[in-house]
A and B are shown apart, each in its own frame.
Chain A
Amino acid sequence: MTKKIVITGIGATTPIGGTARDSWKALLAGESGARTLEQEWVGQYELPVTFAATAQVQPADVLERHELKRLDPSSQFALIAGREAWADAGAPEVAPERLAIDWATGIGGVWTLLDAWDTLRERGPRRVLPMTVPMLMPNGPGAAVGMDLHARAGIRTVVSACASSTESLVNAWEHLQDGVADVVIAGGSEAAIHPVTIASFSSMQALSRRNDDPAIASRPYDVGRDGFVMGEGAAALVLETEEHAKARGARIYAELLGGAITSDAYHITAPDPEGSAAARAMKAAIEGAGASLADVRHVNAHATSTPVGDIAEYNALRRVFGDALDDIAVTATKASTGHLLGGAGAIESIFTVLALHERTAPPTINLDDQDPEIPLDVVTSPRPLGDGDLVAISNSFGFGGHNAVAAFRAV
């Protein structure tokens, strides 16, 4: 029998806030986390893109110095979000053997790896510190969260580019169904605002070039959209069986109905313009959990603000919902946060969960002139979602043709 899985804790550190709650407030207030990069390397390498959505609160302001030294920034963000989510859930009493982690990252410890390469070339192998490999490995962030909270039912990390942390939620749901744990912390983190990644994403024409006005650069669905804005940070959700949550009297934000993963197998970076695999993921996430398409009233879209991607997702949505799509409140929160890559799915899941919990869809900023080819009902100021049964989905798609969708229900 399928168990009910609920969300009882949230934590995040993002470009628009140092906590999940502060990020949500900033989102409702229509703020942008994109800012001009002040680092010396921007000018040194004459990068074509000179801004990004950097974390609003730096880990150095939150963590102890020795914690910082042993963790890549992607793990530092993970630890901050994981601790907040755990505290928010009321630090559940659970046997370590019944607590698991399902984490995600798109890139891993890119700063650690490339700093070590510089050190090796400039100062020789003796100066490459022993923690280099444990810091750069992509399972490092999940391990940091799991070690901190003594999770001994397995620490798993999924790597599927920008779909990663929605996949981690789907995996967490399955692990709770399988009975390997009573409580799972799912999430994702990314700290990849690095000259190499900026140069690479720029070369593929994926990033917005609005260097003169970063705050309006991420503009999903707008005719003037010209690419995504790199973001960084982490988000974590505490998931548990409803039975476990109720037995301990926990506050329940929403139910994770389930999720689905499909793949395009079409192109390494471009989405299938027909969106058939993405549509299949949405349908499976909703119907697999026993909900009906008609229950869905809110979508937190992947919508990165690229010319091609936003349309492909629209096509997939239309394929799933048909005419009913016109009555669904769609939000693209990357307009505010930028694109957290491997952390995107988790922060957007938190925003979806809070939208259900507060029955309010958050806004999409910077939509001045909606693309006529994308006739969606885009939420541009906080909008009440009304009473009654309420289901929402959060979409994430990644390079490699990964499609991941999580479906949630208001409680």
Chain B
Amino acid sequence: MAATREEVLGGLAELINDETGIATDTVELDKSFTDDLDIDSISMMTIVVNAEEKFDVKIPDEEVKNLKTVGDAVDFIVNAQA
């Protein structure tokens, strides 16, 4: 069963916390991965790979550069599940 937007946000926040130590409640939809959360490209790819497994979706490499904010990633995952 597909996860809701809230569930995807919560799950993504856990993956980000796991990789970087950033508190889950600071992972909000309008936050930029690079500018606000200071996530480097290696961590970003780790989060992407872990998100693919967690949400059972494919996130193509060429798509990752379009995921500027947490909201972009949540939207992509929700749509990819549909």
Contacts and interface: CB of A to CB of B under 8 A. Distances in A.
A115 to B, nearest CB: 14
Contacts of B29: none
Contacts of B49: 126-127, 129-130
Interface stretch (B2-10, B17-25, B30-38, B69-77): B17-25
B56 interface: no
A130 to B, nearest CB: 5
A65 B53 CA distance: 20
A76 to B, nearest CB: 15
Contact of B21 (A65, A129, A130, A131): A65
A129 B19 CA distance: 11
A130 B45 contact: yes
Interface string A124-142: 0011011100100000000
Contact of B18 (A69, A130, A131, A134): A69
B28 interface: no
Nearest to B22: A66
Interface in A41-72: 64-67, 69
Interface in B30-82: 42, 45-46, 49, 52-53
Nearest to A66: B21
A245 B45 CA distance: 44
Band of interface residues on A = 10 to 19
B20 A66 contact: yes
A66 B45 contact: no
Interface residues of B, number: 11
Nearest to A67: B21
A64 B21 contact: yes
B18 A65 contact: yes
A87 to B, nearest CB: 21
Nearest to A123: B53
A69 B53 contact: no
Contacts of A131: 42, 46
Contact of B46 (A64, A65, A67, A129): A129
Contacts of B18: 65-66, 69
A129 B21 CA distance: 17
A387 B53 CA distance: 65
B8 to A, nearest CB: 20
Contacts of B19: 66, 69
Nearest to A129: B46
Interface string A113-155: 0000000000000110111001000000000000000000000
Scoring A65, A127, A130, A131 by chain B CB atoms within 10 A of each residue's CB, the highest score goes to: A130
Contact of A130 (B17, B20, B42, B53): B42
B53 A127 contact: yes
B68 to A, nearest CB: 19
A126 B52 contact: yes
Contacts of B17: 65-66
Interface string A308-321: 00000000000000
Contacts of B46: 129-131
Interface in A274-326: none
Contacts of B20: 66
Nearest to B59: A126
A69 B52 CA distance: 18
Contacts of A127: 49, 53
Interface of A: 64-67, 69, 126-127, 129-131, 134
Pairs of residues from A and B, 3 with the lowest C-beta to C-beta distance, nearest first: A66-B21, A130-B45, A130-B42
26 contacts: A64-B21, A65-B17, A65-B18, A65-B21, A66-B17, A66-B18, A66-B19, A66-B20, A66-B21, A67-B21, A69-B18, A69-B19, A126-B49, A126-B52, A127-B49, A127-B53, A129-B45, A129-B46, A129-B49, A130-B42, A130-B45, A130-B46, A130-B49, A131-B42, A131-B46, A134-B42
Given A64-B21, A66-B21, A130-B46, 11 more contacts: A65-B17, A65-B18, A66-B17, A67-B21, A69-B18, A126-B49, A129-B46, A130-B49, A131-B42, A131-B46, A134-B42
Interface of B: 17-21, 42, 45-46, 49, 52-53
